[in-house]
Chains A and B, each alone.
Chain A
């Protein structure tokens, strides 16, 4: 918020205006238009393929919010976030499938929403567990402990033990119709989309509020220079662990939400690659701002979808060509990350900020 300059000619007359979320009438109008498009226009008029792409974007946004919090706002380098999404997803799945809910909860369709909340709490606590090393280590070593969290959680605990609960083997099946929110059965892309929007709006609002508050200021102080922060009297360990908790909470929400879109949940949905992906997304979008998380998600998902679409005409030719294309895709992706990070290290949010301020300050944008 503070990185944006107000349009020329606007000024505030009291604190209430200064603190407001939408600071001018123009901004208010733009935001209401945006919400209108998101909540009304897209579900009614967009093709189900686009809606499924939006769902993917929403899932990525929720995932990257947690990582952005840890890396961008609190300065804790984390490379194992997919583990917490996995914890959230599996807790929610197990609660929905195996837990003996009292009858009235199931009838009212409250089992899934409650399970989402519980899953997020469990993921948050699990995240705190693996965030404990942050009290002693930082920088690269913290990366390694979070990587350890990723491998231990997904590759070991979930793959070997949790997956074997009840069913046999790797995945828990969630045929359409298992998940209900209130009176609605979640079995189509549009319903998942609406649920996703609600969750994303809640999470973004929550994060923004946290950043604006005392807690957020403590995080930013820790990010910038944690020794000074400690000298100033901020309880560094407590705020670091709280950051891990909130990041894990949002990650758990993301995982628990995502299962409604899947026909089955398996540990392969949360590989180390996904943790790297989330970090890559915020680097491309811009570290240190919520805009960065959102832009990065939109950009990366759209680019990946375009690449996938390009594959379909190739599927007509021989499988061998198809195979080669996949390898080229992987190499191109790696190269793209390198190139992006070399030439655009501040990310997309920086460009957005530049463009926006150009218009805000026009005609004096020099």
Chain B
């Protein structure tokens, strides 16, 4: 009986505490969805830590015109159903904006988010979220996946193909490895193949590599029949490193271009010698690089998460900072110009950013217009060689293909 009494009082306590949301003075609620335990947790954990630290920074430097941001951060394990329930929770908590994560749930939520007029700044840089006619409330502060992929294949074509022994004798061969069923992985595929055709590649069939894959031998063996010169990797670091290792073990002999969530400081640790020469997209500066603003990132990483070694922090922390700083600036502008409702944040906040470059952290200047939500057309492609990341090329898609950039390439 005593045990029952204890249990009942504990349950009631949890109930009360759970429902007692602190009513702070003048707090702005922002929701954050992160993946710390799911399919993309290898990159999601670092991003989640970055979000929390960046919000602390924003609050420490004046908040939103004096008002503090209260962050409701949840792990949803890359499962769309959890994302949906958490979104409903955010609405119930009166959040003015959401910092999202995965492509699947972001794209699934985008019609709802548009109806609710809820600004949604995601870690998904999917090209499908860049058209303000379809998804006005979905934004992000990085170059989108499709542009990234186009830039990556262009950089290899510009800098590496001329050094190949078969240059000039035949078309280079190109194939993609990614998880077919994942919207994040398949987002840039159409665009990268379009770019391959523009540049004159011969395109082979795609290989399905799961985000969880630890064994990709059969996919590599199937690729060997086509013997590609260049392979695009659409997954996160875990499975990309497995693919690289298998490609090395089976002597595939192709160069690799990797999307930004598969290319970070962990890749050489996991793939070992197989990662030598791999190229990839880096939308911001790597963690600890000497660029404006990085000192604050490192300082806050040390301050708020001393348990995680600084050498283990990744570029994704920096990506989190750029999203948070961008959102904070938009909210500040909207707050000055009338109020923090969704439409205001979009029109008087985001859409007033023309050539905004105060974020630093290795980002190109941000330009958001009512007709184009791609922040920039400049993408940096790096390469892992001799123990460090070195820049291969900064591809300016907008000036090389201005007509296509403006008229054809947005939104996919």
Interface residues of A (CB under 8 A from B): 48-49, 52, 159-160, 163, 168-173, 175-177, 262-264, 266, 268-269, 306, 309-310, 312-313, 315, 318-320, 322-323, 326-327
Q: Which residues of chain A are near B180, meaning CB under 8 Å? A: 160
Report how far A48 CA is from B34 CA in the complex, Å. 26
With A49-B92, A171-B80, A268-B80 already in contact, 4 other A-B pairs whose C-beta atoms are closer than 8 Å: A175-B111, A263-B84, A268-B81, A322-B74
Which residues of chain B from 57 to 101 have a CB within 8 Å of any chain A CB?
Answer: 72-75, 77, 79-81, 84, 87-88, 92
A173 touches B181 (CB 8 A): no
B107 touches A319 (CB 8 A): no
Rank and list the top 6 A-B pairs by shortest CB-CB distance, nearest first: A169-B183, A309-B18, A264-B108, A171-B108, A175-B111, A266-B80
Q: Which residues of chain B are near A319, meaning CB under 8 Å? A: 34, 36, 45, 48-49, 52, 73, 75
Q: How large is the interface on B (under 10, 10 to 19, 20 to 34, 35 or more residues)?
A: 35 or more
Listed A/B pairs (14) with beta-carbon separation below 8 Å: A169-B107, A169-B183, A170-B181, A170-B183, A171-B108, A175-B112, A263-B84, A263-B88, A263-B108, A269-B81, A306-B14, A319-B45, A323-B75, A326-B36
Q: Which residues of chain A are near B37, meaning CB under 8 Å? A: 323, 326-327
- With most chain A CB atoms within 10 A of its CB, the pick from B74, B77, B128 is B74
A358 to chain B, nearest CB (A): 18
B19 at the interface (CB under 8 A from A): yes
Instruction: Specify the main secondary structure of chain A where it touches its partner.
Output: helix
B305 at the interface (CB under 8 A from A): yes
B104 at the interface (CB under 8 A from A): yes
B103 at the interface (CB under 8 A from A): yes
Q: Which residues of chain B are near A310, meaning CB under 8 Å? A: 14, 17-18
Q: Which residues of chain B are near A173, meaning CB under 8 Å? A: 107-112
B18 touches A318 (CB 8 A): no
B114 at the interface (CB under 8 A from A): yes
B170 at the interface (CB under 8 A from A): no
B81 touches A175 (CB 8 A): no
Which residue from chain A places its CB closest to the CB of B36 in the assembled complex?
A323
Q: Which residues of chain B are near A163, meaning CB under 8 Å? A: 181
A263 touches B79 (CB 8 A): no
Which residues of chain B from 146 to 160 have a CB within 8 Å of any chain A CB?
Answer: none
Report how far A52 CA is from B91 CA in the complex, Å. 14
B338 at the interface (CB under 8 A from A): no
Which residue from chain A places its CB closest to the CB of B103 in the assembled complex?
A169
Q: Which residues of chain B are near A171, meaning CB under 8 Å? A: 80, 104-105, 107-108, 183
- With most chain B CB atoms within 10 A of its CB, the pick from A169, A306, A313, A327 is A169
B143 at the interface (CB under 8 A from A): no
Report how far A22 CA is from B32 CA in the complex, Å. 51
Q: Which residues of chain A are near B304, meaning CB under 8 Å? A: 318
Report how far A262 CA is from B111 CA in the complex, Å. 12
Report how far A212 CA is from B109 CA in the complex, Å. 45
Q: Which residues of chain A are near B105, meaning CB under 8 Å? A: 171, 264, 266
Report how far A261 CA is from B105 CA in the complex, Å. 16
Q: Which residues of chain B are near A313, meaning CB under 8 Å? A: 17-18
Among candidates A48, A49, A176, A322, residue contacting B75 with C-beta atoms closer than 8 Å: A322
Complex interface bits, B182-212 against A, C-beta within 8 A gives 1, otherwise 0: 1100110000000000000000000000000
A169 touches B186 (CB 8 A): yes
B309 to chain A, nearest CB (A): 13
Report how far A349 CA is from B213 CA in the complex, Å. 43
Report how far A312 CA is from B187 CA in the complex, Å. 33
Report how far A145 CA is from B349 CA in the complex, Å. 56
A168 to chain B, nearest CB (A): 7
Which residue from chain A places its CB closest to the CB of B74 in the assembled complex?
A315
Report how far A318 CA is from B51 CA in the complex, Å. 11
B269 at the interface (CB under 8 A from A): no
B5 to chain A, nearest CB (A): 17
A181 to chain B, nearest CB (A): 19
A278 to chain B, nearest CB (A): 15
Report how far A264 CA is from B104 CA in the complex, Å. 10
Q: Which residues of chain A are near B186, meaning CB under 8 Å? A: 168-169
Q: Which residues of chain A are near B387, meaning CB under 8 Å? A: none
Which residue from chain A places its CB closest to the CB of B182 in the assembled complex?
A170
Among candidates A264, A306, A315, A326, residue contacting B80 with C-beta atoms closer than 8 Å: A264
Q: Which residues of chain A are near B115, meaning CB under 8 Å? A: 175-177
B401 at the interface (CB under 8 A from A): no
- With most chain A CB atoms within 10 A of its CB, the pick from B103, B112, B180 is B112
Q: Which residues of chain B are near A264, meaning CB under 8 Å? A: 80, 84, 105, 108-109, 112
Which residue from chain A places its CB closest to the CB of B84 in the assembled complex?
A263
Among candidates A159, A309, A323, residue contacting B14 with C-beta atoms closer than 8 Å: A309
B252 to chain A, nearest CB (A): 25
Report how far A159 CA is from B79 CA in the complex, Å. 14
A302 to chain B, nearest CB (A): 10
B168 at the interface (CB under 8 A from A): no
Report how far A262 CA is from B86 CA in the complex, Å. 12
- With most chain B CB atoms within 10 A of its CB, the pick from A48, A318, A319 is A319
Complex interface bits, B27-45 against A, C-beta within 8 A gives 1, otherwise 0: 0000000101100000001
- With most chain A CB atoms within 10 A of its CB, the pick from B49, B108, B304 is B108
Report how far A251 CA is from B17 CA in the complex, Å. 36
A168 touches B128 (CB 8 A): yes
Q: Which residues of chain A are near B34, meaning CB under 8 Å? A: 319
Q: Which residues of chain A are near B19, meaning CB under 8 Å? A: 309
Q: Which residues of chain A are near B73, meaning CB under 8 Å? A: 315, 319, 322
Report how far A283 CA is from B187 CA in the complex, Å. 42
A318 touches B181 (CB 8 A): no
Q: Which residues of chain A are near B92, meaning CB under 8 Å? A: 48-49
Q: Which residues of chain B are near A306, meaning CB under 8 Å? A: 11, 14-15, 18
Which residue from chain B places its CB closest to the CB of A303 in the assembled complex?
B11
